[in-house]
């Protein structure tokens, strides 16, 4: 009997050792995601604009949704759940949770409120301004910092788009347990770039290397090129833009 059982045990051990090692490797690899999303709670509340309200270039709201879906695909396997809310219908209770507000201050009133609070309390560096409110302005230097460019001879299609990621303590949460992340692009491509950056392990590792607070409270600019078919290419964290804020 022992002679029969022993080979089975050996086979089980042979299977467990490599598979257990792979699982350990995966957990180590995913650690920056878990560390970054600490203080967001579970479920995470995604807050969207009620509709596309951009008066300069309407129709790019779809990229907000695509970026959110990509973020969910990244985090759901780690055990995170999500709730979706519209910014004009979200309840006070839901606003007190960990939230990711998606879209800029023109279309999303929660993004507008959070960015206004962040500017008032913490003196944030980046906000939207310029003649059309689509340029990212450096408030310290009081000058435009990042402005979308349009493709030659095609004023309805962006060539390079930008967005801002801002993380602060959620001012709606009086318990101070939860954070708020605002991802806001000049247009939808910029918003999607921000969402892609905060789901990219290498980008998060770099942010947490530069920002010492845990969880990291910061602002950063993200960018993406857009091809002639309107498809965003690989997003990029603008590394020199990262600034730590007090939360």
Q: Give residue limits of the domains in the chain.
A: 1-36, 39-244
Instruction: Answer yes or no: is pLDDT of 3 > 80.
Output: no
Please state which of the ranges 53-57, 121-125, 160-164, 230-234 shows the lowest mean pLDDT.
53-57
What does the pLDDT look like over 31-54, one tens digit per residue? 999 999 988 999 999 999 998 878
Cis peptide before 215 (omega within 30 of 0): yes
- In sequence order, which residues have a C-beta less than 8 Å from that of residue 75 and are 6 or more positions away? 33, 37, 44, 82, 199
- Note the pLDDT tens digit of each residue in 23-32: 545 666 789 9
Percent share of the chain, pLDDT over 90:
74
Q: Any residues with CB less than 8 A from the CB of 86 and at least 6 apart, and which?
A: 47, 48, 49, 50
Taking residues 213-221, what's their average pLDDT? 96
Q: What is the predicted pLDDT for the residue at 20?
A: 54
Question: Which of 62-76, 146-160, 204-218, 226-240 is predicted with the least confidence, judged by mean pLDDT?
Answer: 146-160
Of 164 and 133, which is predicted with more confidence?
A: 164
Q: Give the mean pLDDT of the chain.
A: 89
pLDDT in tens, 85-136: 999 999 999 999 999 999 999 999 999 999 999 999 988 999 999 888 899 9
């Amino acid at each position: 009997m022992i002679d029969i059982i022993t080979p089975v045990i050996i086979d089980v051990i042979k299977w467990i050792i490599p598979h257990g090692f792979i699982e350990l490797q995966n957990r180590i690899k995913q650690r920056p995601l878990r560390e970054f999303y600490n203080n967001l709670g579970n479920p995470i509340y995604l807050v969207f604009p009620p509709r596309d309200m951009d008066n300069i270039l309407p129709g790019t709201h779809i990229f907000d949704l695509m970026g959110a879906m990509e973020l969910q695909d990244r985090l759901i396997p780690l055990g995170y759940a999500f709730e979706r809310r519209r910014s004009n219908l979200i309840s006070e209770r839901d606003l007190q949770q960990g939230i990711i507000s998606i879209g800029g201050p023109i279309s999303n009133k929660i993004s507008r409120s959070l960015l206004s609070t962040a500017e008032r309390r913490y003196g944030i560096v980046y906000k939207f301004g310029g003649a059309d409110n689509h340029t990212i302005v450096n408030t310290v230097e009081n000058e435009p910092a990042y402005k979308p460019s349009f493709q030659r001879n095609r004023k309805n299609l962006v060539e390079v788009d930008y967005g801002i990621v801002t993380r602060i303590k959620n001012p709606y949460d009086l318990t101070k347990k939860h954070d708020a992340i605002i991802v806001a692009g000049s247009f939808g491509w910029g918003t999607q770039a921000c969402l892609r950056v905060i789901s990219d392990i290498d980008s998060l590792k770099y942010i947490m290397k530069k920002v010492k607070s845990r969880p990291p409270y910061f602002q950063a600019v993200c960018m993406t090129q857009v091809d002639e078919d309107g498809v965003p290419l690989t997003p990029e964290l603008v590394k020199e833009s990262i600034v730590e804020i007090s939360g």
